[in-house]
């Protein structure tokens, strides 16, 4: 019975110590979600509460900066940021969280997609070349028709004599 009271006393002491100790820092998580060709959502948890951070979205291959935003972390230590940026031609995107004025990242995450977003079509449409080709084909056909339609019927040329010939009868 004495060992039971000692075990209960040790368990109560441990429970009291756990309750009095400051909570251990939560694990820092940074994630990219809702990734499509027109933007991405960056969310983070476990970050220092009520601090200012800079979130940068980078091209995952060349580490070229796409967009940067200053964000104040909430009292819960989390944030969510949706940005609209063209991701045309990219296969991977990286988000980096830093403190303003420092280059060392607090956290970063990278997301790779199975196929790159299609590039924006910036050239001329297909209608104008098709219309030009169609009209030039019609004009060329009209010129060919007029050139061969009047063959042998030009005014002022000798037309020759025609003799009437009967076929198959008595002379």
Percent of the chain with pLDDT over 90: 16
Please count the CA atoms within 13 angstroms of the CA of 109 that sit on its side-chain side. Answer: 15
Comparing 40-49, 56-65, 119-128, 148-157, the range with the smallest average pLDDT is: 148-157
Please name every residue paired with 93 in a beta bridge, in sequence order, or none if there are none: 59, 111
Domain 26-112: CATH superfamily is Neocarzinostatin-like (2.60.40.230)
Q: What residue segments make up the domains of the chain, in order of their start?
A: 26-112
The answer to whether 96 and 78 are in contact (CB under 8 A) is no
Name which residue leads in pLDDT, 4 or 39. Answer: 39
What's the confidence (pLDDT) of residue 70? 92
pLDDT (average), residues 128-151 = 84
What's the confidence (pLDDT) of residue 20? 57
pLDDT (average), residues 25-54 = 85
pLDDT (average), residues 126-135 = 85
pLDDT tens for each residue of 114-126: 777 776 666 667 7
Instruction: Provide the b/e sequence for 100-129 (b: ≥16 CB within 10 Å).
Output: eeeeeebbebebeeeeebeeeeeeeeeeee
- Of 17, 107, 124, which Cα lies nearest the Cα of 71? 107
Cβ-based burial of 166 (10 A; exposed 0-12, middle 13-18, buried ≥19): exposed
């Amino acid at each position: 019975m004495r060992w039971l009271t000692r075990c209960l006393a040790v368990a109560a002491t441990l429970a009291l110590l756990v309750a009095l100790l400051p909570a251990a820092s939560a694990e820092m998580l940074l994630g990219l979600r809702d990734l499509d060709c027109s933007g991405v959502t960056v969310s983070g948890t476990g970050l220092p509460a009520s601090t200012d951070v800079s979130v940068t979205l980078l091209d995952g291959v060349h580490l070229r900066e796409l967009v940067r935003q200053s964000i104040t972390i909430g009292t819960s230590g989390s944030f969510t940021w949706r940005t609209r940026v063209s991701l045309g031609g990219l296969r991977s995107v990286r988000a980096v969280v830093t403190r303003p004025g420092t280059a060392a990242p607090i956290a970063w995450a990278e997301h790779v997609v199975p196929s790159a977003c299609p590039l924006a079509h910036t050239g001329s449409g297909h209608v104008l070349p098709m219309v030009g080709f169609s009209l030039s084909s019609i004009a060329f056909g009209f010129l060919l028709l007029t050139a061969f339609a009047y063959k042998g019927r030009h005014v002022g040329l000798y037309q020759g004599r025609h003799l009437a010939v009967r076929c198959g009868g008595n002379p």
